Amino acid sequence: MPLKRILIANRGEIALRVVRACRDLGLTSIAVFSDADRTAKYVRLADEAYPIGGLTPAESYLRVDALLRVASDAKADAVHPGYGFLSENAAFARAVTEAGFTFIGPAADTIDLLGHKSRAREVMEAAGVPIVPGSPILANVDEALAAAERIGYPVMVKAVAGGGGRGIRVVHNASDLSAAVPVAQSEAQQAFGDGDVYLEKYLNPVRHVEAQIMADTHGNVVSLGERECSIQRRHQKLLEEAPSPAVDATIRERIVTAATAAAKATNYVGAGTVEFVMDDAGNFYFLEVNTRIQVEHGVTELVTGRDLVRDQLLVAMGEPLPYRQEDIELRGWAMECRIVAEDPYAGFVPSLGTIDAVSEPSGSWVRVDSSVFEGMEVTPYYDSLLAKVLTWGATRQEAIDRMLRALDEYVIMGVQTNLPFHVELLRNPAFLAGAVNTDLAESIIGNMHEATAQREHIAAIAAALLAYTTSKQGVTAPAVGGSGEPAVSSWAAAYRPGGLTGGWRGGGR
């Protein structure tokens, strides 16, 4: 069916991404904004924008009633959920369609099925998709203990309705499992409103490899290659690349076959991602399906030449996919660094404040998907993602070299960011060799903590020497703490890139 007016039920860079795709297709983009986002870039660039109140997600972007009211008042034809918030919420998808709008994504029943990890595993196993050894939903601790004996330790206790790394506990023995199951059930009930949990074999070290899929309403399903997403902190991705350095043509064909089988088995429509874990031997196992556009979709776009958000919109209009599986050819290498307002020298704690200055990198084969602007307030209400820096190269090394150049050009003043982490990662020998796994990021973060501790020790000595020297000379040492802080903290801060400016200038210097 023809669509003309698209309501974007999201914020930040993904909302801006959808605004631009709408403009390319001649569609009217309708933005919504909370009180905190009143001056956001996507609000200013959308064709129309409407307030939905409040500061927090619960007061704004998670309010189904407010979103549907705006859709009705603005005479929208369809709703694009973006990623995060309500994008994988079956009740929202159902409410959108029942209100007479097109939901740009899979059907609510498909989201329901794939959001339930245990049922999804059963469907995948029946479709011939490899799955990690695991258990059915657990009724009690005794069932968990029996299942763990059969599977073999270590195991993961996983919430059936979990996502984003939440609702997961790794246990290594029966005693820990007995304690973990009731805690996980309670945690899952509070977080997701569903206390069911099950077990999966804990595989470590592993890679996190995912396949992009696109499916239309005419039964066509295509996989657009794989992405390597192993660089993670606490199950949150930090860097992605396409293709994976561990996937050859034979493995890729198997992944494509599994991903398309997963889509067909669930009557999938739209953009989605089938996620797998993969061991060093190239064996991969189904993890989950993300029923939305992914944060990292840009790396797939760079190596395939497809605009995935545009394709989402065309599929929602009932158009058949303009390409077949045999048309998909991966060209070169793409890489994405997620830039977040978090301090890698302080355990990735969020950094809040005002963006005083920003200058984004540019040049050949550099793309920045960003919602950042000077004067923007980084608040505690939303995800800390500020921007995504993407580079393309004919080879993996060329993409890495261009990324280092881009990070060196990036200026963000006013808040701390994880830009220094990315530089450390891109120069790490294991990363350069493509020998990545889901533990690599944590080891680099640990090294950064250790280096910070050493610098703080040196700073403490320097502060003590300064105090001693000035007292001998009869001069009062300048105050460097303030508010009761020990003086060493300011000295230590000076050792961080941007420590004296409250920001980061340059990645490679």
The answer on 144 and 289 residing in a single domain is no
- Among 311, 331, 351, residue at a domain's last position: 331
The answer on 372 and 327 residing in a single domain is no
Distance, in Å, from the CA atom of 312 to the CA atom of 163, rounded to the nearest integer, reads: 23
The answer on 141 and 99 residing in a single domain is no
Q: Can you give the CATH number for the domain in which 376 is found?
A: 3.30.470.20
The answer on 242 and 310 residing in a single domain is yes
* Residue 464 identity (one-letter amino acid): A
292 is known as an active-site residue = yes
Q: SS3 for 166? A: coil
Nearest CA to 300 among 323, 274, 333?
Answer: 333
The answer on 376 and 363 residing in a single domain is yes
Look-up: residue for tokens 């944060």?
295
pTM summary value:
0.85
- Among 201, 221, 249, residue at a domain's last position: 201
Q: SS3 for 126? A: helix
- DSSP letter string, 214-225: EE-TTS-EEEEE
Distance, in Å, from the CA atom of 291 to the CA atom of 32, rounded to the nearest integer, reads: 22
Full 3-state SS string of 412-425: EECCCCCHHHHHHH
- Among 331, 358, 377, residue at a domain's last position: 331
Q: Can you give the CATH number for the domain in which 13 is found?
A: 3.40.50.20
Q: Please list the pLDDT of the chain residue by residue as tens digits (509 residues).
A: 689 999 999 999 999 999 999 999 999 999 999 999 999 999 999 999 999 989 999 999 999 999 999 999 999 999 999 999 999 999 999 999 999 999 999 999 999 999 988 899 999 999 999 999 999 999 999 999 999 999 999 999 999 886 656 778 999 999 999 999 999 998 888 878 889 999 999 998 899 999 999 999 999 999 999 999 999 998 899 999 999 999 999 999 999 999 999 999 999 999 999 999 999 999 999 999 999 999 999 999 999 999 999 999 999 999 999 999 999 999 999 999 999 999 998 889 999 999 999 999 999 999 999 999 999 999 999 999 999 999 999 999 999 999 999 999 999 999 999 999 999 999 999 999 999 999 999 999 987 866 665 565 566 677 777 776 777 766 555 544 444 444 434 434 444 444 433 454 454 33
Domains of the chain: total: 4
Q: Please, are residues 370 and 398 in contact by the beta-carbon 8 Å criterion?
A: no
The answer on 496 and 417 residing in a single domain is yes
The answer on 249 and 171 residing in a single domain is no
Q: Can you give the CATH number for the domain in which 145 is found?
A: 3.30.1490.20
The answer on 272 and 125 residing in a single domain is yes
**Phi, psi of 238, deg, nearest 5:** -120, -35
Using the 8-state DSSP alphabet, how is residue 232 labeled?
Answer: E
Q: Please, are residues 214 and 206 in contact by the beta-carbon 8 Å criterion?
A: no
- In angstroms, what CA-CA distances link 321 with 106, 214, 295, 310, 315? 15, 8, 22, 11, 7
- Catalytic residue, candidates 292, 306, 402, 496: 292
The answer on 227 and 96 residing in a single domain is no
Which structural domain, as residue segments, surrounds residue 505?
Answer: 339-386+394-509
The answer on 318 and 209 residing in a single domain is yes
The answer on 194 and 142 residing in a single domain is yes
The answer on 92 and 9 residing in a single domain is yes
